[in-house]
A and B are shown apart, each in its own frame.
Chain A
Amino acid sequence: MQATTAPEKIPFLRDPTKRSILYQLVTMAGVALLGYYLINNTLINLERQSISTGFEFIEKEAAFEIGESLIDYSAADSYGKALLVGFLNTLIVSFIGIILTVVLGTILGIARLSTNWLLSKLAAAYIEVFQDIPVLLQLFFWYAFFYEILPGPRQALDLLPGVFLCNRGMIFGVPHYHPAFGYAAAAFVLSCIAVWFLRRWAIKRQDATGRTFPLFRASLLILIGLPAIVWWFGGAPTEMNVPVLSGFNFKGGITISPEFTALLLGLVLYTAAFVAEVVRAGIQSVGKGQREAATSLGLRPGRVMHLIILPQALRVIVPPLTSQMLNLTKNSSLAVAIGYPDFVSVAGTTINQTGQAIEGVALIMIVYLIFSLSTSAFMNWYNKKIKLVER
């Protein structure tokens, strides 16, 4: 382009700025047209099929029962409350699932790296097999396992003393209610605070005098000891509410439904295989030289792990680990296939009863989007924090 030409003389389509504006306007118009077309069709269809729109149905009576619920719920409650029950069910299964997955996945990942050939190969086989079978199929398998393979309550498998497995689910004993347990719980919270202060004190003392403090063992002692002492002085209640067979079912104890257990089992066993790979890759990402340099300074193996390997491995592990947790939460929506009343399942029933499909699907999407967005907000924060430290 000659520098002497005035800018307005450039033909419209040759000016990159204008061209880009044109492209964007065309795109916008296209999307708007498509949107108008779809919405128009939808409105016509809704009117023709006389389906109402809007979210008024939330306050109407749901008129269906829900198999399990964390809060009081009956068929007379509103759709809103039913959806809340489903939401809480999704939360609880995801929460417990995530904890178990991280524990199992970490164990498997470390086993995969073990110098023990047998253990390492076994972990590798587990990871390969469980990754390559669809999670839905695994859910069906565990569900069938409960209903077909496990015996009825009368021949229930006695896994551990007081823990039974049968086609009614998993049943185990819990302690009878006693105020001492409340005090012990309070003592546990207190000891957490105490450990926090102890840690600060230990760091301060080490900075000042150089003396190290066995923080891990001391914390463990406080966390277990203090509640135990309180429980002891509270009267040391040991009475258990043990499940007993009466007639065709168990009485007492806590029963966890086959649906919940199958869902949890399927999700945990499937996701743990992926988490194991994440953990393995994270630990392997720390070079051999790091361990050598640290040991040649005279650090003990435990300290090498704690001061050198873990801090570096965690940076690699945390982002993919979070997305695996999110995957588990999203996969918990498969609960609908085995009859566990999670959010998607309750929303599905709502759609069937009210016919308001658009609102129902929108609700499902919004709930999962909230999970996803909060996860990515956490990841952005974490990545930024790491960048600040390392650059």
Chain B
Amino acid sequence: MKSTTAASHRDEIKPPVTEIGVIGWIRANLFNGWFNSLLTLAVLYLLWLIVPGTVKWAFIDSVWLTGSEECRATDGACWSVISANIRFILFGFYPHDLQWRPLLAMGLLVALLFYSRERSRWNKTLAWAWLAGLFAMGLLLKGGLFGLTAVESANWGGLPLTLLLSVFGLTAAYPVGVVLALGRQTNMPVIKSFCVVYIELIRGVPLISLLFMSSVVFPLFLPEGVTVNKILRAQVAIILFTAAYIAEVVRGGLQGIDRGQYEAAESLGLNYFQTMRLIILPQALKIVIPPSVSILISAFKDTSLVVIIALYDLLKTTQTTLSDPKWMGYSAEAYIFVALIYFICCFAMSNYSRKLEKELDTGR
């Protein structure tokens, strides 16, 4: 038998033109087979029906910074409904000349979030910075200290309220959730069953029933003469609700820890609390960071439900604006604006959680 050596014409033959370059890409991704070609044409037709009309409505025929009279005159979108009412939509009834304070608080929050995005910066100092930051944000909103004028919580509203409810909600719910998760994992039947009943009960009912409870039942629980303001009651309902979901996520993390870790910790002579604090929780909480971000996203979206118990969050201020006869009938524009705010926040968070997930995947 012969032994052959390779033909020398390597690199001379190119793949057929229909397989590479722009043509190849279009063929492979849009027109491979008659069915896909049909789909592409159908989608293109659909886009042709929707996009030009929408662009005309939203950008070409639209008015931006006018009064309501100009809006009545145009066929396009009336973005003026937002520009004319932006301060009320964003800050609600917060005193006009003090609105720099919630704005500053939100800036602080964004700065903290932005700085914390790298995992390498996560350390004790940052945790303290967060605590101090949250305190400063609360102070900026409420005032009454350091010469800041106090602002009644009844006047809080708009985007700061939405952020307050979700950020403080998650921060306060996390420890509760961790305790519930640990309780569910113990072998003490009474504690375990309390935790199971709590978690399943809360997860089984819609958030709105808890909000109802906070607004109509909760006052009955308190002794005579003691009242708690509406925002705080809603905040408690959100914390109780979120804690149950966090507990389930943390439980997933605890179950992901190898049995050997418990045994190794025990054999070092650590007791239950030491084992949990030093060995198990640091690992479990690291696993559950991405699902925790998902919970933050849903908590952020869920705060919009406080509209139903008449708190002036971002959605409620928008609705109030729309009930002004001058601006009636521009719901689409206003809701699209609010949707855009929600979308940007959630999209940033979910992208971040995907990035983290990838990092953690390789980091383990």
Contacts and interface: CB of A to CB of B under 8 A. Distances in A.
Interface string B286-325: 0000000000010001101101100000010001000000
A119 interface: yes
A297 interface: no
A158 interface: no
| Chain B binding surface, main DSSP class | helix
B332 A46 contact: no
Nearest to A355: B216
A38 interface: yes
A118 interface: yes
Contacts of A376: 200
A115 interface: yes
B39 to A, nearest CB: 5
Contact of B204 (A24, A27, A351, A368): A368
Interface in A20-55: 20, 23-24, 27-28, 31, 38, 41-42, 44-46, 48
B167 interface: no
A147 to B, nearest CB: 8
Contacts of B131: none
Contacts of B115: none
Given A41-B220, A119-B39, A337 B307 contact: yes
| Chain A binding surface, main DSSP class | helix
Contacts of A331: 206
Interface in A51-68: none
Interface in B116-164: none
Given A119-B43, A361-B209, A372-B204, A133 B342 contact: yes
Nearest to A34: B221
Interface stretch (A137-145, A212-220, A246-254): A137-145
A365 interface: yes
B281 interface: no
Contacts of B30: 116-118
Interface string A81-125: 000000000000000000000000000000000111111001000
Contact of A45 (B28, B36, B203, B220): B220
Nearest to B187: A20
Contacts of B222: 41, 45
Contact of B338 (A23, A114, A137, A337): A137
Interface in B165-199: 187-191, 194
Given A41-B220, A42-B220, A336 B208 contact: yes
Contacts of A365: 201, 204-205, 209
Contact of B209 (A141, A149, A368): A368
A319 interface: no
A361 B301 contact: no
B36 A116 contact: yes
B56 to A, nearest CB: 16
B262 interface: no
Which of B194, B217, B219, B223 has the most CB atoms of chain A within a 10 A radius of its CB? B217
Contacts of B188: 20, 23-24
B361 interface: no
Which of A27, A41, A132, A136 has the most CB atoms of chain B within a 10 A radius of its CB? A132
B331 interface: yes
Interface in B331-346: 331-332, 335-336, 338-339, 342-343, 346
A41 B206 contact: no
B333 to A, nearest CB: 10
A229 interface: no
B352 interface: no
B191 A348 contact: no
Given A24-B189, A135-B301, A118 B40 contact: yes
Interface in A340-365: 344, 348, 351, 357-358, 360-361, 364-365
A215 to B, nearest CB: 23
A44 B332 contact: no
Given A118-B30, A148-B329, A137 B339 contact: yes
Contacts of B304: 134, 136-137
Contacts of A38: 221
A165 to B, nearest CB: 16
B224 interface: yes
A369 interface: yes
A333 B213 CA distance: 14
A137 B315 contact: yes
Contact of B40 (A119, A140, A344, A348): A119
Interface in B342-358: 342-343, 346-347, 350
Interface in A289-318: none
A131 B203 CA distance: 20
A46 B220 contact: yes
B307 A136 contact: yes
A245 interface: no
Given A116-B39, A118-B44, A336 B190 contact: no
A334 interface: yes
A148 B83 CA distance: 21
Contact of A144 (B40, B223, B335, B342): B335
Nearest to B306: A136
A37 B164 CA distance: 30
A199 interface: no
Given A24-B190, A144-B332, A133 B205 contact: no
Given A119-B39, A134-B302, A140-B319, A364 B191 contact: no
Interface of A: 20, 23-24, 27-28, 31, 38, 41-42, 44-46, 48, 114-119, 122, 128-129, 131-138, 140-141, 144-145, 148-149, 330-331, 333-334, 336-337, 344, 348, 351, 357-358, 360-361, 364-365, 368-369, 371-373, 376
Given A24-B191, A136-B315, A344-B208, 15 more contacts: A41-B223, A45-B222, A117-B30, A118-B40, A118-B43, A122-B43, A129-B343, A132-B301, A133-B343, A141-B332, A144-B335, A330-B206, A333-B206, A333-B209, A337-B307
29 contacts: A41-B222, A48-B224, A115-B29, A115-B32, A116-B43, A119-B40, A129-B343, A132-B347, A133-B301, A134-B315, A136-B304, A137-B315, A138-B339, A140-B315, A140-B331, A141-B335, A141-B339, A145-B332, A334-B305, A337-B307, A344-B206, A348-B212, A360-B216, A365-B204, A369-B205, A371-B204, A372-B200, A372-B203, A372-B204
